[in-house]
């Protein structure tokens, strides 16, 4: 959804058509910097590497497990 919205906005902005209402709408649905702070976490996909790093730095491991589709459409 976000990628599609961004692509549509990019096409409109590069075509020279600037609609303040559209720009405001796009800005209203885009995540803020605060909402994207989770992207700064150095996530690991290899549990063995994560265990090694956690042991070396004396930090816990946050393990996320789920059954099904990540968007909940199972």
Higher pLDDT, 66 or 52: 52
* Residue 71 maps to a domain: no
* Residue 30 maps to a domain: yes
* Residue 63 maps to a domain: no
* Residue 26 maps to a domain: yes
User: Would you state the pLDDT for residue 48?
Assistant: 95
Question: pLDDT of 7-62, one tens digit each?
Answer: 766 666 666 667 889 899 999 999 999 999 989 988 888 999 999 999 999 999 98
Q: Decide: residue 47, CB within 10 A, 0-12 exposed, 13-18 middle, 19+ buried.
A: exposed
How many structural domains are present in the chain?
1
Distance CA 13, CA 10 (A): 5
Angle, CA of 37, 43 and 47, to the nearest 5°: 160
Instruction: Tell me the residue range of the domain where 36 lies.
Output: 2-57
* Residue 32 maps to a domain: yes
Name every residue whose Cβ is closer than 8 Å to that of residue 32 and which is 6 or more positions away in sequence: none
User: Would you state the pLDDT for residue 66?
Assistant: 78
């Amino acid at each position: 959804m976000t990628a599609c919205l961004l692509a549509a906005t990019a096409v409109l902005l590069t075509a020279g058509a600037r609609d303040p209402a559209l720009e405001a709408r796009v800005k209203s649905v885009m995540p803020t910097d605060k909402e994207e702070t989770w992207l700064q976490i150095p996530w690991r996909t290899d549990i063995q590497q994560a265990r090694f790093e956690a042991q070396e730095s004396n930090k816990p491991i946050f393990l996320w497990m789920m059954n099904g589709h990540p968007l909940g459409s199972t």
